[in-house]
A and B are shown apart, each in its own frame.
Chain A
Amino acid sequence: MPVGLLGKKVGMTQVYNEAGEIVPVTVIQAGPCPVLTVRTKDRDGYEAVQIGFGDKPRRLATKADRGQVADIESKRKKRLEQGGRTLDAKAGVEPQYFIREFRTEGEEHGLTVGQKLDVNHFAEVKAVDVIGTSKGRGYTGVMKRHNFSGLGAAHGTKKVHRSGGSTGQRSDPSKVFKGTKMSGQYGNTRTTIRNLKVVKVDLENNLLLVKGSIPGPAGQYIVIRHTNKFD
């Protein structure tokens, strides 16, 4: 899979297309994403590219955060150097808020550590997938979570108006089947929206406009990848 981008959901608005029709779009602040590490089969056992997004202020970053992205003095480095080994080159950027890897199994990506990917990456792409975390709704009943109809509002229904009703029947089967829809935690899960059309790429402001909505609240970090769904 080609390397995608990381970004932040800005919010939704509308734009007009060439035909003069309104298109609902989600604005994503995508990139610039520095390449932090290139994983190789020999060293790591798998091939991938690790990229970051969003500069973390030094006061919030741990030393480990800084060591991941830049060459800093450490005991380990000193020890390795004494043993005649050198650490791999670092990207030399600020600590990053959001770091993800993209698997590149047997693929020529031509990316090197320290290189910056910007939104132009998607300039020629028609559609993308967006991966984010959906809005958490907490512990929810079946009406909200699974669109159950609930029980009657009147005709003698007492205290169970939003109930899901029976789940285990009587003597047969006298158990609750696995996977039965019940109340529980709703939202706050990893959610992928596939095949979102790219409407516009704004390199100057690092903005990516995709048609339709994406999971999660505005300001959330998201992963944008080339779509694997083609219609």
Chain B
Amino acid sequence: MATTSKSKTELLKIASEGSLRSNKLSFEIGDTVDVRTLILEGDKERTQLFSGVVISMRGSGMCESFTVRRIVAGEGVERTFPVNSPKVADVVVKRSSKVRRAKLFYLRDRVGKATRLTERRVNKKEEAAAQDSE
């Protein structure tokens, strides 16, 4: 049988292909982002904004997700979004930061000024290179 030549991983990939995001989200750990999610209100759809710092990205393929942390009324709030969810409409990067960790969980133990991250300015050369590679 011809179909048995495909491995388990390949077949699983094919199965979830239709559910993967077609427009890739581009952001990095430490970025301050605006996540726009679609929510259904009655029978009308509207977008909701959640802005904060990306402190974690995990998983791959269908299970990929990222966590955004922000401070609301002095209380830390974290929200985890599945990358491939059709309800995550868009992610806009507002600011990038210089970080030395893949997970910024240490921000949970900090309050006030200590939570600030050093801004990483993307210079024109890098930007051009990034556009070329795309």
Number of A residues with CB within 8 Å of any CB on chain B: 23
Q: Determine if A55 and B1 form an interchain contact, defined as CB atoms under 8 angstroms apart.
A: yes
Chain A residue at minimal CB-CB distance from B63? A14
Chain B 1-52 interface residues, beta-carbon cutoff 8 Å to A: 1, 3-4, 6, 8, 11-12, 14-16, 18-19, 38
Q: Determine if B11 and A20 form an interchain contact, defined as CB atoms under 8 angstroms apart.
A: no
Q: Determine if A29 and B85 form an interchain contact, defined as CB atoms under 8 angstroms apart.
A: no
Interface size class on chain B is 20 to 34
Q: Determine if A207 and B19 form an interchain contact, defined as CB atoms under 8 angstroms apart.
A: no
A20 to B6, CA, bound (A): 29
Q: Determine if A15 and B11 form an interchain contact, defined as CB atoms under 8 angstroms apart.
A: no
Take A20-B85, A27-B11, A207-B14 as given contacts and tell me if A15 and B62 are in contact as well, using a CB distance cutoff of 8 Å. Answer: yes
A206 to B86, CA, bound (A): 26
Chain A 50-64 interface residues, beta-carbon cutoff 8 Å to B: 54-55
Task: Write the residues of chain B forming the contact surface with A, with a CB cutoff of 8 angstroms.
Answer: 1, 3-4, 6, 8, 11-12, 14-16, 18-19, 38, 61-63, 82, 84-87
19 A-B pairs besides A14-B63, A200-B15, A205-B3 with CB distance below 8 A are: A10-B8, A10-B11, A10-B12, A11-B12, A13-B15, A13-B16, A14-B62, A15-B15, A15-B19, A16-B86, A20-B87, A27-B11, A27-B12, A32-B1, A200-B18, A202-B14, A205-B14, A207-B11, A207-B15
